[in-house]
Structure 1
Amino acid sequence: MTIQYQCRHCGTHIGTIDERNVNTEELGLSQLKPEEEDEMVQYDTQGNLQVNVICENCHDALDQNPDLHEQDTFIQ
């Protein structure tokens, strides 16, 4: 299983874990609430995961502009 981490705001590829024996519990994904998992984690047809997180640049932008939290997307 390959796990791809991508920024949910700007789409930047953050990283990849390419391990066949990765346990989602070890990654902390099992601690997500069902609605969080629906929003953050997608499986493709080969069983690989895409995890939507926030990159450092978007995190900084949100910290500096708290009103951006009200918008679904703020990167244009």
Structure 2
Amino acid sequence: MSIVYKCRHCGHEIGKLNQQVIDTSMLGWNELSTEDKQEMIHYQNNGDVHIQTICENCEESLGSHPQYHELDYFIQ
């Protein structure tokens, strides 16, 4: 089982945890609302978990161009 963190905007893989057992409260998942969990956490058929987050480059772009927050995807 792997937990893969990917940027929701550009698709860049930010990081990957390869563990058989992971305490999700240590990752902060218990702090997320049900809606956020449904939007961000995606379980794969092979047992992997994909987490949608934001990379530093996209976060910087959003900071420089706040109007991008209105868009679902700002990188084409």
Give the aligned CA root-mean-square deviation in angstroms.
0.8
Unaligned runs of 5+ in 2: none
Unaligned runs of 5+ in 1: none
Cα shift at 1:71? 0.4
Cα shift at 1:47? 2.4
Question: Match for residue 27 of structure 1?
Answer: 27
Q: Distance in 1 between matches of 2:71 and 2:11?
A: 16
Q: Residue type of the partner of 1:2?
A: S
After the TM superposition, which of the residue ranges 65-74 and 39-48 deviates more from structure 2? 39-48
Question: Match for residue 2 of structure 2?
Answer: 2
In structure 2, the residue corresponding to 1:37 is in which secondary structure? Answer: helix
Q: Distance in 2 between matches of 1:52 and 1:59?
A: 13
**Count of residue correspondences:** 76
Identical residues among aligned pairs (%): 42
Q: Distance in 2 between matches of 1:67 and 1:7?
A: 19
Moved over 3 A (4+): none
Q: Normalised by the size of structure 1, how large is the TM-score?
A: 0.95
